[in-house]
Amino acid sequence: MAKAAVINDLSGFGRCSLGVAVPILSVCGIQACAIPTAVLTNQTGFPDYACIDLTEHLYDYIKMWNLCDASFDGIYSGYIAHPEQADFISSFIDNFRTKKNLVLVDPVMGDNGSIYKGYSQSMCDKMRDLTMKADVITPNFTELCLLSGGSYSEISSLSASKKKDEIKKLAQKLIERKKDLTVIVTGIDDNNKICNMAFTKDKDFFTVSDRLGKSFSGTGDIFASVTFSMLLNGNDLETAMNTAVTFIERSIKDTLAIDPDPDHNYGVEFEKNLGFLIDKNRTKI
């Protein structure tokens, strides 16, 4: 069985972060070894939340897992609660990096042109450096602008085709810094559609799906978790992304079937569709 270190927060309410990553990796036949960066009463999209920052405990994982002679087929990181956590993730990658394992960094920083509550510019700077240690990154459009220095407001005002052209330019700026980097830009508004665009130094690929309701919390985490799992199981980028999009579409439809106007902070009913991922990864389980 493949084994992956998953570095992210754990939220009591709001289907996101470790709350979606661990079950998704597990049904894909991957042992998920969780490292919680913080424990939150509920994810940060809620009006109020409490957070226990676990920064001071994180280096124990490197120490103890080295004593266990641990190794990983993949490393996957997401939300950080403190700038020093980016340094920890960087050190963790340095300690457990091999020529064969897959490193995916989901640079969770913001959305809709703004950084998230509790985030700072220094955290964004640290995340920008951390992405250069990844094989794959999965920023949304806001996060792509934060990583590359693009203007969210200027690009957002462009037509759909010109907007995509500018997104490609920003992604290529990151690839110029790290030639073997794959940049997947998620959740791009395209009229009544949602587009995900992937870029490498050699090729581009994109998916298009219908917009179903408003934006839901945690769908970026779900997309990254499914894509990471599919890639780790030997699938190509196109298959991985299409599987993630289909899984999210099914989950959103199930959510809206229960309540046409749900509280989007609670995320989507992904649990009912885990069987779909089991079928997609049947030979790996």
Q: Residues 29, 114: contact at Cβ < 8 Å?
A: no
**Greater confidence, 112 or 33?**
33
pLDDT at 285: 61
For the domain covering 2-284, report its CATH number.
3.40.1190.20
**Greater confidence, 284 or 84?**
84
Average pLDDT over residues 171-186: 96
Average pLDDT in the chain:
94
pLDDT at 282: 80
**Greater confidence, 71 or 189?**
71
User: Is the pLDDT at 284 greater than 70, yes or no?
Assistant: no
Q: Which DSSP string corresponds to 10-71?
A: EEEESS-THHHHHHHHHHTTEEEEEEEEEEEEE-TTSS---EEE-GGGTHHHHHHHHHTT--
Average pLDDT over residues 275-284: 87
pLDDT at 75: 98
Around 80, how many Cα atoms within 13 Å sit in the side-chain half-sphere?
29
User: Is the pLDDT at 68 greater than 70, yes or no?
Assistant: yes
Q: Which residues contact 221 (CB under 8 A, 6 or more apart)?
A: 8, 16, 17, 20, 21, 78, 106
pLDDT at 153: 93
pLDDT at 121: 87
Distance of CA 168 to the CA centre of its chain: 19
User: Is the pLDDT at 58 greater than 80, yes or no?
Assistant: yes
pLDDT at 139: 97
Q: Residues 129, 90: contact at Cβ < 8 Å?
A: yes
pLDDT at 210: 86
Average pLDDT over residues 263-275: 95
User: For the segment 28-42, what is each residue's pLDDT rounded down to a tens digit?
Assistant: 999 999 999 999 999
Domain boundaries, the chain: 2-284
User: For the segment 114-141, what is each residue's pLDDT rounded down to a tens digit?
Assistant: 998 778 888 999 999 999 999 999 999 9
What's the count of helices (H) and strands (E) in the chain, helices before strands? 10, 11
Average pLDDT over residues 223-231: 98
Average pLDDT over residues 160-173: 93
Percent of residues, the chain, with pLDDT higher than 90: 83
User: Is the pLDDT at 249 greater than 90, yes or no?
Assistant: yes
